[in-house]
A = this chain, B = another copy of it.
Amino acid sequence: MAEQTLADIGEFGLIAELTKRFPQGEQVVVGPGDDAALLRIRNGHVVVSTDLLVEGRHFRRDWASAADVGHRAAAQNLSDINAMGGRAHSLTVGFAAPPDLPARWALEFADGFAEECALVGASVVGGDVTRSAQIVVSVTVLGSVTQAPVLRSGARPGDVLALAGRQGWAAAGLAVLGRGFRSPRAVVAAYQRPEPPYAAGPAAAAAGATAMVDVSDGLLAEAGHLASASGVAIDVTSGSLEVPEPFRAVAAALNADPLSFALSGGDDHALLATFPSASALPEGWREIGSVSDGDGVTVDGKPYDGPTGWTHF
């Protein structure tokens, strides 16, 4: 029997199957199925962010399972709330796909998405499905902050630059997949299913972080965003970055600098933040550089001449 496609199960069949996979949190007064969802909001504020994932651009079906892509789609959005020092509670998902896509792919994507959301207790409260030539997933995430959000613009000269979470693993994995390899398995798995440090964002906010950003465009690129938004210079100490054994193996095979994965990679969704130098860094954070008067980003005091990150067009 031929595998069922989206065209076979139809819009309403797909929505019914998807809805089963998304348990509703206590903030949900009206969930999926009406013209809009109704959410109870605490603290008088909501933090909101949107991200797109496009097949062939942000993922490939032969490089990651549907569940992996679901995890990644959720993770990169949850991470944006994390980077404000907040906690995500609700998401909407737009899912555009070719009618001949196996229905199983869409449902396994949803399972992965729901599993990632469950890590932070967030729920999918609505969405839309439609036909397109290429899979495009659009996610909007809503969250709350219990104190002032940590913006990109608050870094001050004298602050310490710090990092939370794995950094460079996913980039090394992507480099491997791009050459047609499947190992080292540890970096490929890191690319397929990122593990953003969800506890580190609120912990940084509570510890007085002055600025914070989610590393999605590459460590140096995001340091550049902090530097320009804050009007400061940032220096990254390369010796403070972890360059684990798999990076060396990949770099040797691809004739690359093992440090480049840590400096230019973004797909791990680590967090980069600045803290007043006198404050103790919260759990999960490690110092990787410093903030001073000036502008721009340097590595060990010098301009970096390798690739610094990702551009979208």
Q: Are B48 and A126 in contact (CB under 8 A)?
A: yes
Report Cα–Cα, A149/B47, bound state, in Å.
Answer: 22
Q: Chain B's nearest CB lies how many Å from the CB of A95?
A: 8
Residues of B close to A50: CB separation below 8 A: 92-94, 126-128, 138, 140
- What is the size, in residues, of chain A's interface with B at 8 Å between Cβ atoms? 71
Q: 28 A-B Cβ contacts within 8 A? A: A6-B313, A11-B312, A14-B313, A34-B84, A34-B229, A35-B81, A36-B48, A36-B83, A36-B86, A36-B149, A38-B47, A38-B84, A38-B145, A41-B45, A48-B125, A48-B140, A49-B126, A50-B94, A50-B128, A52-B94, A52-B96, A54-B131, A57-B131, A57-B132, A129-B313, A130-B312, A132-B134, A134-B134
In this complex, what residue of B is CB-closest to A136? B136
**Which A residues from 1 to 60 make CB contacts under 8 A with B?**
6-7, 9-11, 14, 29-30, 33-42, 44-52, 54, 56-58
- A143 neighbours in B (Cβ, 8 Å): 36
Does A213 have its Cβ within 8 Å of any Cβ on chain B? yes
